[in-house]
């Protein structure tokens, strides 16, 4: 009995063939650019642990948003960094319509309008003096239900500032439902919720904490997920979808690709993944030492996240990656 000469390498012989049969492609429109805006800055300020990333002034934030849209980036996620003297135990400056985050939302919406999806981080950690994502009890633990009341008010303030989507990132039980109800009661039926459904208490967030000037005392293990748990992540996802989440997200991305894949199989809403600051910083550091091809690793890492099942990728490379992807077409 004879067999045909089966050679899978025939499909890899030329660049044109490889493009023709490529199974996973990342598109610029699937990328979301996280941006930091610092209260009181006249010029952008570099972040040492995130090479190439800055804390923006209001003016440079508008320019960065415009550049991202011009490159084809699909969305922008805004993080506000207040002056330390404006932080307090309850993160009240995060709810202030004239606080840095809500002012920045208005600035970006005025700059890009509906040509991009303007997202805002709905969490208190940037605004609290203790750096936790919610209100603390007398023993120092986070009071889930008291925090939800603030999230509801914060969500309405961000919607009124013009945000298209709110990123509920605090990992409080019931946060999606509370924010959804508050938005609907205030008439913001069209403002969506991107649920940080599976946000892990991992070790990849260090540079981000420099970027937002975190004053965190202790850790967040009592409310963020344990890195060893997958089934728990699916339970969190189920709850967020049931509470009205329009999209769900896994954070971080690369160390949790199995979670991304499992979530994609679980739900019918769009799935996002956040390529966090530690993932970005490791690549940048290795590239600076000449150990890797920076652009190749950048695009390969984004492809792996897409292949795992993420339809939307938050990445600090969004604008640059979008330009590279467009040049490859």
What ranges do the domains of the chain cover?
25-328
Query: Does the annotation count 306 as an active-site position?
Result: no
38, 87, 199, 306: the catalytic one is 199
HSE-CB at 53 with a 13 A cutoff on CA atoms is 27
Give the other-Cβ count within 10 Å of 307's Cβ: 15
As a whole number, mean pLDDT of residues 309-325 equals 98
As a whole number, mean pLDDT of residues 237-257 equals 98
Given a cut of 80, is residue 1 above it in pLDDT?
Answer: no
Using one digit for the tens of pLDDT, what is the confidence trace for 25-39?
A: 999 999 999 999 999
Query: Does the annotation count 63 as an active-site position?
Result: no
What is the CATH superfamily name and number for domain 25-328?
Answer: Aldolase class I (3.20.20.70)
This prediction has a pTM of: 0.96
pLDDT number for residue 327: 85
* 247-251 vs 54-56, strand pairing mode: unpaired
38, 63, 87, 251: the catalytic one is 251
State whether residue 186 is helix, strand or coil: coil
Q: How far apart are CA 21 and CA 35, in angstroms?
A: 35
As a whole number, mean pLDDT of residues 251-261 equals 98
State whether residue 127 is helix, strand or coil: coil
176, 245 Cβ separation under 8 angstroms: yes
């Amino acid at each position: 009995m004879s067999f045909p000469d089966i050679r899978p390498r025939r499909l890899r012989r030329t660049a044109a063939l490889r493009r023709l049969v490529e199974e996973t492609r990342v598109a610029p429109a699937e990328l979301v650019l996280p941006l930091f805006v610092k209260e009181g800055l006249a010029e952008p300020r570099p972040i040492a642990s995130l090479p190439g990333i800055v804390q923006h002034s209001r003016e440079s934030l508008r320019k960065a948003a415009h550049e991202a849209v011009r490159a084809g980036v699909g969305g922008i996620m805004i993080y506000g960094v207040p002056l330390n003297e404006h932080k307090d135990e309850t993160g009240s400056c995060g709810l202030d319509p004239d606080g840095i985050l809500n002012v920045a939302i208005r600035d970006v919406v005025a700059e890009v309008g509906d040509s991009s999806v303007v997202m805002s981080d709905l969490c208190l950690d940037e605004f609290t003096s203790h750096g936790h994502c919610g209100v603390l009890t007398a023993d120092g633990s986070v009071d889930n239900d008291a925090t939800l009341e603030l999230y509801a008010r914060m969500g309405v303030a961000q919607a009124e500032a013009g945000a298209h989507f709110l990123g509920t990132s605090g990992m409080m039980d019931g946060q999606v439902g509370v924010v959804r109800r508050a938005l609907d009661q205030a008439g913001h039926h069209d403002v969506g919720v991107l649920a940080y459904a599976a946000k892990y208490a991992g070790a990849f967030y260090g540079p981000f904490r420099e970027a937002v000037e975190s004053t965190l005392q202790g850790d967040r293990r009592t409310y963020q997920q344990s890195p060893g748990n997958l089934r728990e992540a699916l339970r969190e996802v189920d709850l967020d979808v049931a509470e009205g989440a329009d999209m769900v997200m896994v954070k971080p991305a690369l160390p949790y690709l199995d979670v991304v894949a499992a979530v994609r199989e679980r739900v019918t809403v769009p799935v996002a993944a956040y390529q966090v600051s530690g993932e970005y910083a490791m690549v940048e550091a290795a590239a600076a030492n000449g150990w890797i091809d920076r652009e190749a690793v950048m695009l390969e890492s984004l492809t792996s996240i897409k292949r795992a099942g993420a339809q939307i990728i938050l990445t600090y490379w969004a604008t640059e990656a979008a330009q590279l992807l467009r040049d490859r077409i």
